[in-house]
Structure 1
Amino acid sequence: MNNVVAIEQQATQQQVIQMLKPLLEEGCITQSQLAKEIGNSGAVISQYLKGNYGGDVDAVTEKLSHWLNMRKTRNSQIVAPGFVETQTAKQILNALNYAHAAELISVVFGASGVGKSTTCRQYINSNNNCWMITASPAVSGIGECLYEIALELGMDDAPKRKGSLSRAIKRRLTGTGGLLIVDEADHLDYPSLEALRILQEQTGIGMVLVGNNRVYSQLTGGRRNEDFARLFSRVSKKVGIHKAKQNDVNAIANAWQISDQPARNLLQKIAERPGALRNLNQVLRLAATMANGVGKAIDEALIKQAFRELEGDVQ
């Protein structure tokens, strides 16, 4: 390496270090988190920042430059409004509150993208002793489901065997007066649902099963035989939400300060498509970024442009 190249590399390294130092000093990020986000060890970052890293300095400089560029891009994005209490959100919150207070089981089921998961997280943030797990194809059996609950409860040393795990969770939950939310519960098989029912009865906590329409059919088995009736009869409140409501769209439009009626009409059409309010918020975030770039309010034209970029044309 000739001296000119070496000087240029050192200058680039110093420039990156000078950009990182204020972020680290102000607590925007820690060295360990920075190392994790670029895929290096904390020791590498520490040595690099001190200017005495003996490894491939150029490779670390490149990674950190990419990280800084991505941070700049993220900061340029418009911050969406916080939780919007739509009419549908109120329905879900009522179901959660009822199950929590009455220490019973509720089920919230229906269309995707209407705010079920977001509303559940909002409830957890606003209440004590509330926990939420998310089922999946990998977390569908009894053992996996119970272990997810244990991790959510902070039981990092929980036993792996189902019997011991179940008893440990029971001891942890009994007397808490808490609420356990199981999102994407449509992935759970019948034995897992039965295990949750028994856990709820033994501990006296509230429980809410959240998912698509399949979670409802899972509770009935498509029929009312004795086994499924035993489970279904324990569900005290059933809330079916099959599409986004016009009032939901109006509440979101108000939160984004959109008063233009043609724009609001277009938002309603977008919310009627699969993905409902989730897609609507994604479109609005992009439209807001576009609006910020040209110094104007979100209007129908920008919403159309954002929608085309994200999903395709809308008539």
Structure 2
Amino acid sequence: MSDRMKQVWDLVEPVAEIPEKQKWLWRDARSAAKKYAEKKGLSKAAFAREVDIAAATFSEWFSGKYRGDYTKTTEAVARFVDNQNSFEQTELQVPEDLDYVETPASQKVMSALQFAQSMPEMVVITLGAGMGKTKTAKRYQENHAHTYLVTMRPTTSTPSAMLQEIALKMGVYERSLAIREQVIGERVQRNGRKPLLIIDEAQNLNDNAVNQLRYFLDNHGCGIALIGNEELYTRFGGAQPKAAYAQINRRIGMRVRQMRPTKQDVAVIVDAWDIEDEDARKMLQAIGRKPGALSQVSKTVRLAHMLAYGSGGKVDAATIRAAWSNRGGEEL
């Protein structure tokens, strides 16, 4: 820590008259604030912002120059530091969630994305909730140039709203819809590059928006990957599509559909969490077959780590059962 930072947080004697009862509470809160701020490398102004106190008020309070009632500010500072310390303690007990894990299901997604980008083609990818489709798409985008991952919402269902979302992801800020579409087309033009648009939560798009994506495939040679839920598969993934979707369906070069994880998918996730207890592994296999799939496994293991913190940190069948129960799961 710099000498300047140390000087900023020097504890000086108060100038203002502070009632004795308030004074010892103020001293404790001030010491706690100093310790927390120095650990985080915060200035007084930055600390005041985190506590949601006016910087001038906090500065006067900290230096003992404040002429008003110290109670309110003292309580706010003490409560903030206590909460932050509690959060940090919880974070120590709970491991970070897994990043991308290569399961057999994610390998299928990776292959489909590679196919869409290299050909180019349109692919439809439908995985059950909690099976890692978004994490897989993010990992693919991180490792492949000219790949754009855009997530749709109900409010981006129309062609214009969808194009706006794609434009923002590309750093395009044209106000004119026509110019915006033209610039996006230039970005995804297959002129020596292999561009790919990955549209996550694609079930939120209406038919006209999906047709707009078809335009980018047909006219610019941009690979298109539609990732979504069972509704997406019903519209564009079935073996006997509705006539209204014929133009889209005949352009789909690959379909990936897996609504539940396999035993091997779950085992890979359990291995990634380093769970060795055989009974615990069996329970997690059962949890992985429930709605929410692989994310249910990870959430349960993280909570189990917290519950096991006070007993040596070992995650076993008992802590998995307790964690699952605490999350509202039925008896295993």
Q: Distance in 2 between matches of 1:47 and 1:202?
A: 62
1:224 aligned to 2:251?
A: no
* Equivalent position of 1:145 in the other structure: 162
1:59 shift after superposition: 6.7
Kindly indicate whether residue 310 of structure 2 is the aligned counterpart of residue 293 of structure 1: yes
Matches for 1:9-158 after TM superposition, within 5 Å: 9-24=26-41, 57-58=73-74, 61=77, 62-155=79-172, 157-158=173-174
The secondary structure found in structure 2 opposite 1:239 is: strand
Instruction: Pick one of 233, 238, 245 that aligns with 2:250.
Output: 233
Shift of 1:2: 4.0
Matching residue within 176, 179, 190 for 1:164: 179
Please provide the CA RMSD for this pair.
3.2
Distance 1:44 1:158, change over 3 A: farther
Contact 2:127 2:133 in 1 (8 A): no
Q: Sort the Cα spacing of 1:228 and 1:39 in 2 relative to 1 into closer, same or farther, 3 A.
A: farther
Q: Does the CA contact (< 8 Å) of 2:155 and 2:161 recur in 1?
A: yes
Give the aligned partner of residue 217 of structure 2: 200
2:297 is aligned, of 264, 271, 280, to 280
1:64 Cα deviation from its structure 2 partner: 5.0
Contact 2:126 2:227 in 1 (8 A): yes
Q: Secondary structure at the match of 2:116?
A: helix
* Distance (Å, rounded) in 2 between the aligned partners of 1:168 and 1:40: 45
**In the alignment, which residue of structure 2 is the partner of 1:189?**
206
> In 2 relative to 1, CA 57–216 (structure 1 residues): closer, same or farther, beyond 3 Å?
same
> Higher Cα Rg: structure 1 or 2?
2
Q: Which residue of 1 aligns with 2:19?
A: 3
How does 1:236-251 map onto structure 2 within 5 Å? 236-251=253-268
Q: Distance in 1 between matches of 2:237 and 2:223?
A: 20
CA contact (8 A) 2:98 2:298 kept: no
Once the 2 structures are TM-superposed, how far is the Cα of residue 65 of structure 1 from its aligned partner? 4.4
Alpha-carbon contact 1:106-1:235 (below 8 Å) kept: yes
Looking at structure 1, the residues matched to 135 and 41 of structure 2 have their Cα atoms a distance apart, in angstroms, of: 31
Corresponding residue number in structure 1 for 2:286: 269
In structure 2, distance between residues paired with 1:115 and 1:276: 9
Mapped partners of 1:101, 1:142: distance in 2:
25
TM-score, normalised relative to structure 1 = 0.84
CA distance in 1, matches of 2:57, 2:228: 43
| TM-score normalised according to structure 2 size | 0.80
Question: Retained in 2: the 8 A contact 1:17–1:49?
Answer: no
Distance 1:258 1:247 in 2: 15
| Cα distance in 2 for residues equivalent to 1:58 and 1:158 | 49
Cα distance, 1:106 vs. partner?
1.1
Cα distance, 1:38–1:236 mapped onto 2, change above 3 Å: farther
2:227 alignment partner in structure 1: 210
In the alignment, the residues of structure 2 paired with residue 205 and residue 104 of structure 1 have an alpha-carbon distance, to the nearest angstrom, of 8
CA distance change for structure 1 residues 231 and 45 in 2, over 3 Å: closer, same or farther?
Answer: farther
Aligned residues: 307
CA contact (8 A) 2:237 2:255 kept: no
Give the drift of 1:186: 0.8
Cα deviations by residue, 1:115-163 (Å, 9 ceiling, x for unpaired): 11111112122222322121121221112211111111122x332x432
Secondary structure at 2:329's aligned position in 1?
Answer: coil
1:253 to 270, 275, 300: 270
Percent identity over the alignment is 24
Unaligned runs of 5+ in 1: none
